[in-house]
Structure 1
Amino acid sequence: MDIQVLTAPGLGGSGPLHWQSLWEEAEPGFVRINQDNWQAPVCSQWVNSIEQAVALAGPQVVIAAHSLACIALAYWAQQTKLIIRGALLVAPADTERPAFPPEATGFQPIPLQQLPFNSIVVSSTNDEYITLERAAFLAQCWGSRFVNTGPQGHINAASNLGDWPKGKKLLKELLQNWQTL
């Protein structure tokens, strides 16, 4: 059975030049988890959207989350009874930092429980929304492998990554490892 990839964009969604959008466009099995409100997100609503998307897709799912969606996914993992194969958690946003956007509500405190699925956290040395040390701490708490991708900003469209080949390689690595389970 093929593993489906769900993408989960962060605050504001992912525009047409974001690696998530480019992956969705290039790969027919990649489906976006849509949110009703990208600009003023409420965590419980985002968690419900994740729950619905995973329920539709079934257990052979890997989620490629970006930024605020990484935190929503950690909340989802605490309360769901559904199973996924794993997650690529890219540039998680530190929702506990003082400058966190007030229009996003319910994303604090960040869940620190181990995730019940395999995961990789990817962060950069110059992400404006989380320090490298904080991202490594979240990875450790979540039981995730941690990847420092160097100076890549928030690993988004502004980082000029195109379809982000390094991210595709990490995703492919996850998919290959899990297909042998």
Structure 2
Amino acid sequence: MSLLFVDGWFGPEPGDWQSVWCDRYPGSKRFEQDDWDEPVREDWVARLDEALAETAEPPVLVAHSLGCLTVLHWLAGGGDRPVRGALFVTPSDVEENREEALAGFAPIPRLTLPFPAVVAASSTDRWMTPARARSFSESWGARLIDAGPVGHLTGAHGPWPEGEKLLAPLL
């Protein structure tokens, strides 16, 4: 089973939970964006599509923050490569948090996902309120999990074994 990690704004951090998981699961892959600091939706979506084209089998997407929106915009734009499932971890609400660098990712697509998905939302995430996470999860047809008071689950959080329990059913 392959995992494809779709990182968010500013990209990978040394020792973050995604790095730990990528090392732990054979066949996992992280791909690079051309510009992690000044994201352009069309470029990020194109890089995701390229990474999906290179997978030997339908992967489970593990998306974090702006990476979640990258997946949604890929689907909204007609992305049709096979995907087994997705774990969306602390998606960013670029509609409520009006960060100029992320404006191109608004509005957030509200579409029914064509694969099983879980949304792990934090009760203390400054980028998405629990109520908004619930609303988006419902529109996507994804199962919502309260990850607790874990903030935005950045690299400082560590390996996040609780998240692996959310990933397991998608594998």
- State the TM-score, normalizing by the size of structure 2: 0.94
Partner residue of 1:25? 23
Partner residue of 1:83? 82
Partner residue of 1:163? 159
Q: Among residues 151, 154, 157, which one is paired with 2:152 in the alignment?
A: 154
Q: Show structure 1 runs of 4+ deviating over 2 A.
A: 25-28
CA contact (8 A) 1:43 1:105 kept: no
Q: How do 1:1-181 residues align onto structure 2 when only pairs under 5 Å count?
A: 3-78=1-76, 79-97=78-96, 99-158=97-156, 160=157, 162-175=158-171
- State the TM-score, normalizing by the size of structure 1: 0.89
CA contact (8 A) 2:125 2:151 kept: yes
TM-aligned CA deviation for residue 29 of structure 1: 1.6
Q: For the aligned residues, what is the CA RMSD?
A: 1.3
CA contact (8 A) 2:84 2:170 kept: no
SS in 1 for 2:119: strand
CA contact (8 A) 1:42 1:105 kept: no
CA contact (8 A) 1:71 1:107 kept: yes
Deviations 1:38-84 (A, max 9, x none): 00001111111111111110442101000001011011112112111
Query: Whole-Å Cα distance in 2 between the matches of residues 168 and 115 of structure 1?
Result: 21
Query: Whole-Å Cα distance in 2 between the matches of residues 59 and 112 of structure 1?
Result: 27
Query: Whole-Å Cα distance in 2 between the matches of residues 23 and 80 of structure 1?
Result: 25
TM-aligned CA deviation for residue 26 of structure 1: 3.0
Letter in 2 for 1:4: S
Query: Whole-Å Cα distance in 2 between the matches of residues 121 and 58 of structure 1?
Result: 25
Letter in 1 for 2:169: E
Q: Which moved more, 1:115-124 or 1:20-29?
A: 20-29
SS in 1 for 2:105: coil
Q: Which moved more, 1:60-69 or 1:73-82?
A: 73-82
Q: Give the number of aligned pairs.
A: 170
